Amino acid sequence: MSAIAESLPQPLSCDIHCLDCVAFLRRLPDASVDVIVTDPAYSGMNQHMRFGHGRIVGSYGKPGNGRWFTEFHDDPDTYRAFLAECRRVLKPNRHIYIMFDSFSLLSLGGLVREFFDVKCLIVWDKVAIGMGHYFRRRHEHVVFAAKGNRKLSRRDLPDVWTVPRIRRAAYPTQKPVALFDLMLAGSAEPGYVVCDPFTGSGSSAVAALRQGCSFIGSDIDPRAVQLALERCRTFVSRGVDPLEPRAGVSRLRQRPARATG
């Protein structure tokens, strides 16, 4: 376990564990987190591409070469185990946001309904087109769901989010913090505990800290955990996100936070 303790105001915390998502969630008590926002490392699209429908981008085909991260084995049984743990750790009357690429949405998205009350399917418009041999990919999805009854605290949020993808990201598939800001905008309150079992470079953690929330997350890759912790430490101490230095002004200036390790 790694956490950031210096300079976060009590009782806020920022803990990032180097663990498999399900193992991490199993360590958390029942009903202990307020919002789950997560961006799993699905293997579906890469398997699809491996079967001759496209070119594998990066080095997914060469595990251990140090460039790309491990895929999450997102077969239905593993995914159900993941969702069951998400439901257990989430407090009643709270929200969960899960990101999906198109292929994973078709194969796994429906399973979310077995565990949560799915409210909306949000489209993330990445603005610039990406790879693809047919229609080139410009969007991903976010499934928004609830455990129990809870409305959004805002009524002005659309279900298409136009947020430019990050070019030349420091971490593979690093998502803009603005995407997680939107997930938290109507679902988090200052002091809430935000959880991301696939933390990656820590974009969700920075969004949580910006909202005056605590963060608890995990990633199976120690390099990701180290990067996310360093990122959060810099954000907490200087109010600047080193991986997105031109992103919005830190909320920490308004409500200082502290991260512990």
Tokens of 63: 């595990």
Prior bond of 158 cis (ω within 30°): no
Distance CA 227, CA 225 (A): 5
Least spacing, CB of residue 228 vs ligand SAM, in Å: 8
Contact 107, 44 (CB under 8 A): yes
Looking at the Cβ atoms of 20 and 241, the one nearer to ligand SAM is 20
Least spacing, CB of residue 204 vs ligand SAM, in Å: 6
Looking at the Cβ atoms of 203 and 214, the one nearer to ligand SAM is 203
- Residues in contact with ligand SAM by the rule CB under 6 A: 20-21, 39, 41, 69-70, 72, 171, 173-175, 197-198, 200-201, 203, 218-221, 224
Angle at 36 between CA 33 and CA 38, to 5 degrees: 145
Least spacing, CB of residue 251 vs ligand SAM, in Å: 18
Looking at the Cβ atoms of 47 and 70, the one nearer to ligand SAM is 70
Looking at the Cβ atoms of 71 and 125, the one nearer to ligand SAM is 71
Looking at the Cβ atoms of 125 and 256, the one nearer to ligand SAM is 125
Distance CA 124, CA 100 (A): 10
First to last CA, the chain: 8
Looking at the Cβ atoms of 201 and 211, the one nearer to ligand SAM is 201
Least spacing, CB of residue 134 vs ligand SAM, in Å: 23
Distance CA 163, CA 36 (A): 20
Least spacing, CB of residue 132 vs ligand SAM, in Å: 18
CB-closest chain residue to ligand SAM: 200
Looking at the Cβ atoms of 125 and 221, the one nearer to ligand SAM is 221
Question: Measured between alpha carbons, how far is residue 30 from residues 27, 92, 205, 223 in Å?
Answer: 9, 10, 21, 29
Least spacing, CB of residue 155 vs ligand SAM, in Å: 27
Handedness of CA 78, 119, 132, 219 (dihedral sign): negative
Least spacing, CB of residue 126 vs ligand SAM, in Å: 13
Residue that is written with structure tokens 């949580």 in the block? 208
Contact 3, 259 (CB under 8 A): yes
Contact 79, 18 (CB under 8 A): no
Helix (H, G, I), strand (E, B) or coil at 45: helix
